[in-house]
Amino acid sequence: MRNLKEELIAYAKEIGLDLIGITTTEPYHRFLDELDLRKKHYQERFAYRIEGWQNMAQPLKVLPDAKSVIVMGFYYLTEESEPAGCRGKMGRIVNYGHLGILKRARLIRSFLRKKGFKVVIGAHRKEAAVRAGLGSIGKHNLVMNKKYGSWVAYQSIVTTAELEADKPFTDDLCGDCDLCLKACPTSALYEPRRLDPRKCVAYMLTSRDVQEEYFPAFDNYILGCDVCQEACPINKNLKPKSDVESLLPDLMGMYPPLVNLLRMSEESFQRDVIAGITDKMSSHRFLNFLMKNKFFQKILQKLMSTIFKGKEILPETFVHASGNLEIYKRNALVAAGNLGDKSLLNDIQPLKSDSYLGIYADWAERRITNDK
């Protein structure tokens, strides 16, 4: 007869989880120290999250009678080449990782609750993954796993189920390699395992205002950034998955045509993009219903950043884009400028008169026409 841990591991494999490990409920001191070092980095946009992150790094504050922390990993590398044409690009975790891990974490939660245990999703992940034996923190500040590299989305569950802890991961998988630091287009990785989020491309792509000096570093990314992961030797030649569900609707996809984004109306954006994303990520049926209702779409757009702050309904990438089409169009304009394709000029020029997008449209036009 299998014990609870064996049942859990078997179920995790059944639902498509690639990694699972168990650790204890002691605080994650390294991350708490890291938070102290990086507080000034977070004050601009994440000040409201600092206290929550501190609590998440102390499992007994998340669930006072917890006995174990379960860490799950979902491998999300897919095999696809960037198609030709004027297209943007999404980070793989945006399109595949967030959805893949959250759906399965909820299934694990239901599995444990049916057995009578308390469960809370959303405790700290990186240090938990190391302590649970799943990998080490790489120099790009992501968890490195021996089999899957850093192409893994993680989620942690704090539970009252008493499970035998796995041995922590102690190997250094990076060695002397520092290719990820050299590849970072903005030097956000300013030293091994140290990231200034204010300079991270993925962060800036969801910020309201960005300094022009960083525009070229965005390349054609719309959300997310995979540059440091693509530079990592361990991540090369891994066998990709072929059956990963996409979060983004067909209208956008992994490589959205920039023309579609530049021409997209608010109505289409809310109906075809945001409602579709929310429907896949949220387990709240009533919220999904509202997002499909035209009357509520504009209201929810304004409330999105408040409703979803600090929640596990939507990933941070979408929370900070706030259902705001301007952010997507701004990034499409920068991508257009970086690609330098003159066929986009007719769609860029009408946006020059927009109170927010105008400066980005002007930059893109100058970049394409080489008008300094």
User: If you average pLDDT over residues 267-293, what whole number do you get?
Assistant: 67
Range of the domain at 351: 257-372
Q: Clarify whether residues 17 and 153 are in a common domain.
A: yes
211 within some domain: no
Which of 159, 177, 195 is the endpoint of a domain? 159
d(CA 293, CA 359): 33
319 within some domain: yes
Of all residues in the chain, the percent with pLDDT exceeding 90 is 65
> Do 134 and 73 form a contact (C-beta atoms < 8 A)?
yes
Q: Which of 145-159, 303-317, 346-360 shows the lowest per-residue confidence on average (mean pLDDT)?
A: 303-317
The string of pLDDT tens digits covering residues 287-300 is 444 444 554 445 55
186 within some domain: no
261 within some domain: yes
Number of domains in the chain: 2
Q: Clarify whether residues 288 and 155 are in a common domain.
A: no
226 within some domain: no
d(CA 222, CA 211): 16
Q: Clarify whether residues 135 and 11 are in a common domain.
A: yes
More confident residue, 102 or 251: 102
The string of pLDDT tens digits covering residues 115-165 is 999 999 988 999 999 999 999 999 999 999 999 999 999 999 999 999 999
Which of 159, 175, 197 is the endpoint of a domain? 159
pLDDT computed for residue 324 by the predictor? 83
220 within some domain: no
Cα 91 → chain centroid? 8
Q: Clarify whether residues 264 and 155 are in a common domain.
A: no
232 within some domain: no
19 within some domain: yes
Which of 140, 159, 178 is the endpoint of a domain? 159
